[in-house]
Amino acid sequence: MMSPNSQKPAPEIDLRTQLGRLTLANPVMVASGTFGYGWELSQFLDLRRLGALLPKTVTRQPRRGNPPPRIVETPAGILNSIGLDNDGIEAFLNDHLPVLTNLGCPIIASIAGKSVDEFAQLAEILDQAPALAGIELNISCPNVAGGIDFATDPHLCEAVVAKTRASTRHPILAKLTPNVTNIVSLATAAKNGGADAVVIANTLLGMSVDWRRKIPRLGGIMGGLSGPAVKPVALRAVFQVAQAVDIPIVAAGGITTLDDCMEFLVTGARAIQVGTAHFFRPQAAIEILDQLPAALAELGARSLLEVVGTLRVPRESSQPTPCYR
């Protein structure tokens, strides 16, 4: 018999999430480009616990990336101008993927192409890898020449997603850019093209200058801003898409703590990607995952999906218009 002072065991929380045809055991992913190929950080955390791991973006041919310096610290974030430095798709398939698929967590490959056809070719090549959980289309990298064209033009966005969709059986996540005036139109295009989910959002285009030396601090001049500084922008973008487009959302942008994660979930995201936080807290993703069940229970939920999109917005404020005085 349980004594009056005994505490009831915490209810078991169902952390599973659904991103179109992709089912994950939990919503916590690590963002592409912030985690190396993935296996490098296996000594710091149990990768088997992750909802999914996204290795660095791969391209058709190897890329040397942009000239150094490639990373500059900014208030509440970093600017990076890596330039998609990678070993190419063949090395990814032959050298990296065999190691990754033995890590014990779902692997979602990230790809970037120079054209619509090249995205489709990369996806077709990855069909040789049945162990992959999905493919993320990096159509929004801001520090590669032409890198955001596909994610700023709805017609190009729909075309690249549609042709990739026809070239692979893997679930597709389209990674969108915040460097647009209407992200809803891009999410709509991705949905129409057949994306299983959208990732919102990639980095903001930024710049840093050394005024004493009169030079840019990045070798590539401009780069992508990430970290806590961009979270309000990403949160706004997730809200706008969640209100207007019926497509699963993966949130990315400044997610560092459990509170950040929960804010994105109630705003409409079904999963999150932790990125820049790993540079100063390698255990960040696992820490958020450990704290997530208690936070969901605090809201009276027995499953993750019960809290997704539960943000209460006054009817008269459903379409907020900024007013500066």
Domain holding 146: CATH number? 3.20.20.70
Residue 48 lies in a domain: yes
Structure tokens at 253: 């942008």
At residue 141, the pLDDT reads 82
* Separation between Cα atoms, residue 296 and residue 305, nearest integer Å: 10
At residue 1, the pLDDT reads 40
Residues (pLDDT < 50) of the chain are: 1-9, 321-325
CA triple 23-87-256, angle to 5 deg: 50
Residue 210 lies in a domain: no
Residue 232 lies in a domain: yes
Do residues 58 and 110 lie in contact, with contact meaning Cβ atoms separated by under 8 Å? yes
At residue 110, the pLDDT reads 97
* Separation between Cα atoms, residue 223 and residue 80, nearest integer Å: 5
Q: What's phi and psi for 98, nearest 5 deg?
A: -60, -35
Cα separation values, 289 from 24, 37, 129, 232, 299, Å: 13, 21, 28, 22, 16
Residue 281 lies in a domain: yes
Q: What does pTM read for this prediction?
A: 0.93
**Domain range enclosing 109:** 17-66+84-205+225-317
CA 181, 182, 187, 193 dihedral sign is: negative
Do residues 225 and 79 lie in contact, with contact meaning Cβ atoms separated by under 8 Å? yes
At residue 2, the pLDDT reads 41
Residue 78 lies in a domain: no
Is residue 323 among the annotated active site residues? no
Residue 8 lies in a domain: no
Pairing of strands 249-252, 197-200: parallel
Number of folded domains in the chain? Answer: 1
Q: Which residue is catalytic, options 141, 157, 261, 323?
A: 141
Residue 182 lies in a domain: yes
* Cα R_g (the chain), whole angstroms: 20
303: exposed, middle or buried (Cβ count in 10 Å: 0-12, 13-18, 19+): middle
* Separation between Cα atoms, residue 60 and residue 322, nearest integer Å: 43
Residue 217 lies in a domain: no
At residue 149, the pLDDT reads 74
Q: Identify the CA nearest to 44 among candidates 253, 286, 288, 289.
A: 286
Three-state SS for the chain is CCCCCCCCCCCCCECCEEECCEEECCCEEECCCCCCCCHHHCCCCCHHHCCEECCCCECCCCECCCCCCCEEEECCEEEECCCCCECCHHHHHHHHHHHHCCCCCCEEEEECCCCHHHHHHHHHHHCCCCCCCEEEEECCCCCCCCCCHHHHCHHHHHHHHHHHHCCCCCCEEEECCCCCCCHHHHHHHHHHHCCCEEEECCCEEEECEECCCCEECCCCCEEEEECHHHHHHHHHHHHHHHHHCCCCEEEECCCCCHHHHHHHHHHCCCEEEECCHHHHCCCHHHHHHHHHHHHHHHCCCCEHHHCCCCCCCCHHHCCCCCCCC
